[in-house]
Chains A and B, each alone.
Chain A
Amino acid sequence: MEKQTIDSMVGVLDARMNRQLKQYMDICVRCAICKDACHQYAGTHDMRYLPARRAELLREIYRRYFTKSGQFLPALYEAREPDENLIDELYESTYACTGCRRCMYYCPFSIDTGWITAVSKGVLIAAGRGNEMLGQLADAALFKSDNMDMFRDIIVDGFKGIETELREETGRDIAIPVDVAGADILYVALAGSHSIKPAAMIFDAAGASWTLSMFEAANYGFFFGDPAKAKLIADRFMNEAKRLGVKEVVITECGHAYRVAEMFYEAWAKEKMPFKVRHILEVIDEYIKDGRITVDPKAIRERVTYHDPCQIGRNGGIYEQPRDIVTAIAPDFVDMTPNREKQWCCGGGGGIVAMEEFNVMRLKSGGKKVEQIKATGATVLACPCENCRLQIAELNEVHDLRLRIVPVMELVVEAMVPNGARPGAQ
């Protein structure tokens, strides 16, 4: 491997080094307790997917360039100069990781392998081995924001089309407001109407002051492993929120987008945002509890279970609001075991559903989730994350689970009482 490439990789590791990463590099005892926490290792028993091994690959480079002991006694510490073999294994281990951080939960030292793999992605990008598909998707998102004048009319026409669909489906005029200065909420949806229509119906029923972002929530820069690109992608709607002067940014049912906006963005931007960030289910839960929307408590008659997406659950702290919503509309709710912070990752996070090369392993890694779902006997799965839904939909097909997999807000729309949604408004 060329010296210039190695220098570049080491430079990235140096730039991303912080106290936590250094401690994660220094203290792992390779006990492999994490093996039983990882859905990928559980599904494949392949050492490349053992969390401690994923971290160990970066640790080998760290020891070689960042520790005196690794420089003096490289054989003892397995301190390695990166070569093609190491990069190949690092690529496989790193981009396969869904960043669910279940291994961190069970690690006796709370080593954050998800964070380590995020840094490994940066090192791989420096080596010219970033995942091409994720990189292209990130660049496409940035192209859109750089050329917004070219896309604006097409996007607005699309929103008009959604208004027409809503009129046909509900018989009511439900507006999709855009660019509304002074609105309370900037709602950031996903590409496509499926995350816009139910939210519009709920906002409309609640009489909310809202406006729809021109940009989608998904952030492939985050999955790609480039924080600079990830920030630029999030900048699009964060700057929009600042420009419009909204009180809060509400992120749709998308796990990583919520985590980027709520957990990472202010640190990346190095400034405190003049608005708060909430997940759409926090808002809907509030609407139901405040009586701003009325739902039929027996609307969903099938048995329903709920999947905690890792990025809003273990990594975002949203556990109870979705359950409160589902139990408010579905009397036969059965939780999976384990759940909440111990919930198994479905295997679809981290951008892995966009990387075909991992398809076989990805489906194997969903084995634990399949077992969990089967054990509930549910026929409806409420799931507030797009990547989780894509993965579980494939598992549904492969394992013939006969599940209806729906976003939580879609269930809420099914349960909303006609003409009673906004008391006194009709």
Chain B
Amino acid sequence: MDWFSYLTSGIGVYVGLAVFTGGMAWRVYDWARTPKSPVRLALYPKPETPLARLGKLLKDTLVAPQSWETAGTLMAFAMAFHLAALAAFVGHLRLVHEFTPLVNLLGIEGMNAFAGWSGGAAGIIMLVTVLYWIGRRTYGAYRNLSTPEDYLLLALLLGIVVMGDHLRFVGGLHAATYQAWFASLMAFKPAFPTELASSTTRYALDWHMLFVDAFLIYFPFSKLTHAIGAFATNLVRSSE
């Protein structure tokens, strides 16, 4: 690894994960140690039983049906992005461990084809949705509501997605190569396998990882804490 690769695809991954994990833990702790609102802030009607409350919490947070009623287009893009991001995250777990049951079912060729198709679709959906958001923030009526933070996050997401899509559609390397690199990370001896080190694709990976590292580091200090906070705030609308 050269110094840039080591920084972005080696040590940067550890730093990113450490800051993300520690930062989010701190954020949750900070919320938890702050006293709850003494007054009742629920909206009505609200569920009567704890189980119904849990069901409504999950529905409100994961589906947000009321938001669809008033902003269907935005919600469609938001939902598409989040589902695609979830699919991409799950797909990346293949770097940690091969999805053996799926490989047994589809065969290695079939698995690679499925991963290529689904990963490609997720990458395209994420690209389209991020571009939609950039357009909405830049040219929409709500530009004045946007802050530099909003654009920074979109720039980081765009970088991650564009470079990720480059790896997917142009890179020409298969999962086994990236699995070897990821195995080195998990062994705390970051190194590129020969096939990756000798390929120009590694530049795309380095830039992909640079954006990922920055995204992970920035995450706990940004509005992205809604990933956890939304569960808490949506519970309030149904609480006693």
Q: A31 and B74 in contact (CB under 8 A), knowing A20-B233, A76-B148, A110-B233?
A: yes
- Per the 8 Å Cβ criterion, residues 252-271 of A in contact with B are 263-264, 267-268, 270
Task: Report yes or no: B233 in contact with A18, Cβ–Cβ below 8 A.
Answer: no
A111 within 8 A of B: yes
Q: Is the CB of A18 within 8 A of B38?
A: yes
Within the complex, the shortest CB–CB distance from A294 to chain B, in Å, comes to 30
B35 near A30 (CB under 8 angstroms)?
no
**What's the least CB distance linking A320 to chain B, in Å?**
10
A22 touches B226 (CB 8 A): no
Complex: A76 Cα to B67 Cα, angstroms: 28
B145 / chain A contacts, CB cutoff of 8 Å: 30, 32, 47, 50, 52-53, 56
With the chains together, A69 CA to B78 CA distance in Å?
A: 26
Q: Which of A27-55 contact B (CB under 8 A)?
A: 27-33, 35-37, 45, 47, 50, 52-53
What residues of A have a CB within 8 angstroms of the CB of B229 in the complex?
A: 23, 26-27, 109
C-alpha spacing A65/B152, complex, angstroms: 22
- A78 near B149: Cβ-Cβ < 8 Å: yes
Q: How many angstroms from the CA of A17 to the CA of B33 in the assembled complex?
A: 12
Q: How far is the CA of A92 from the CA of B57 in the complex (A)?
A: 34
In contact, A76 and B233 (Cβ under 8 angstroms):
no
Decide if B43 touches A30 in the complex (CB within 8 Å): no
- In the complex, what residues of A have CB within 8 A of residue B41's CB? 20, 112, 115
Instruction: Pick from A109, A112, A313: contact of B226, CB below 8 A.
Output: A109
A298 to B205 alpha-carbon distance, docked (Å): 76
Q: Are A18 and B234 touching (Cβ within 8 A)? A: no
A1 interface hit (Cβ, 8 Å): no
B104 proximal to A (CB < 8 A) = no
B149 near A77 with CB under 8 A, answer yes
Q: Chain A residues with Cβ under 8 A from B147's Cβ?
A: 30, 76-78
B97 — which chain A residues lie within 8 A by C-beta?
none
**B142 contacts A110, CB within 8 Å?**
no
Docked-complex contact A19 and B31, CB < 8 angstroms: yes
| B49 interfacial contact with A, CB 8 Å | no
Chain A residues with CB below 8 A from B36, complex form: 18-20
Q: Contact check, B39 vs A264: say whether CB atoms are below 8 A apart.
A: yes
1/0 per position for B122-157, CB-CB distance to A under 8 A?
000000000000000000011011111110100000
CB of B45 within 8 A of CB of A33, answer no
CA–CA, A319 to B43, complex, Å?
A: 12
Query: A residues within 8 A CB of B237?
Result: 104-105, 110
A75 to B: closest C-beta gap in Å: 6
The answer, among A21, A27, A32, for a CB contact under 8 Å with B223, is A27
Task: Tell me the minimal C-beta distance from B212 to chain A in angstroms.
Answer: 20
Contact check, B43 vs A341: say whether CB atoms are below 8 A apart: yes
CB distance from B48 to the nearest CB of A (A): 11
Interface residues in B51-87 by Cβ distance below 8 A to A read: 60-61, 64, 66-67, 69-71, 74-75, 78
On chain B, the number of residues with a Cβ less than 8 Å from chain A's Cβ atoms is 48
Q: Which residues of A contact B232 (CB under 8 A)?
A: 19, 23
Closest to A37 in B: B70
B229 → A minimal CB distance (Å): 4
Contacts of A182 in B (CB 8 A): none
Please state if A29 and B236 are interface contacts (CB–CB under 8 Å). Answer: no
The answer, among B45, B144, B152, B225, for a CB contact under 8 Å with A76, is: B152
Q: Using known A-B contacts A30-B223, A107-B67, determine if residue A267 contacts B39 with beta carbons closer than 8 Å.
A: yes
A29 and B223 within 8 A (CB): yes
Interface contact B234-A314, CB-CB below 8 Å: no
Contact B233 A24 (CB under 8 A): yes
Proximity bits, A340-358, B CB within 8 Å = 1, else 0: 1100000000000000000
Asked if B198 is an interface residue, CB under 8 A from chain A, the answer is: no
Q: Which of B34, B148, B236 contacts A22 (CB 8 A)?
A: B34
Interface string of A87-118 (1 = CB under 8 A from B): 00000000000000100111111111001000
Known contacts A17-B34, A47-B144, A76-B148: A27-B233 contact under CB 8 Å:
yes
Shortest Cβ distance from A104 into B: residue? B43
Closest to B44 in A: A317
A315 close to B (CB within 8 Å):
yes
B46 within 8 A of A: yes
Contact indicator A75/B148 (Cβ below 8 Å): yes
Contact of A78 among B44, B61, B148, B225 (CB under 8 A): B148
Which residues of A in the span 1-31 have a Cβ within 8 Å of any Cβ on B? 17-24, 26-31
Instruction: Tell whether, in the assembled complex, residue B71 and residue A26 are in contact, meaning their CB atoms are under 8 Å apart.
Output: no
For chain B residues 88-104, which have a beta carbon within 8 Å of chain A? none
Which residues of B have CB within 8 Å of A135? none
A106 and B40 contacting across the interface, CB-CB below 8 Å: no
**Contact call B223/A28, Cβ cutoff below 8 A:** yes
* Contact (Cβ within 8 A) B236 A20: yes
- The distance from the CB of B36 to the nearest CB of chain A, in whole angstroms, is 5
Q: Does B221 sit at the interface, judged by CB under 8 A? A: yes
Kindly state the separation between the CA atoms of A19 and B35 in the bound complex, as whole angstroms.
6
**Bound CA span A53–B43, Å:** 22
A314 touches B31 (CB 8 A): no
Contact with B along A316-333 (1 / 0, CB 8 A): 110100000000000000
Q: Which residues of B contact A340 (CB under 8 A)?
A: 45
1/0 per residue B18-41: CB within 8 Å of A? 000000000100111011111111
- Chain A residue with the shortest CB-CB distance to B239: A20
Q: Which residue of B lies closest to A265 (CB)?
A: B39
Task: Give A22 to B145 CA distance when docked, in angstroms.
Answer: 20
The 9 closest A-B pairs by CB, nearest first: A317-B44, A27-B229, A27-B226, A267-B38, A108-B64, A110-B237, A78-B147, A267-B39, A33-B71
6 chain-A/chain-B pairs, Cβ below 8 angstroms: A19-B34, A28-B223, A106-B66, A106-B69, A115-B37, A319-B44
Given contacts A26-B225, A264-B39, A340-B45, 12 further A-B contacts (CB under 8 A): A18-B38, A19-B232, A27-B229, A28-B226, A35-B142, A76-B148, A108-B61, A108-B78, A110-B43, A110-B233, A263-B40, A270-B38
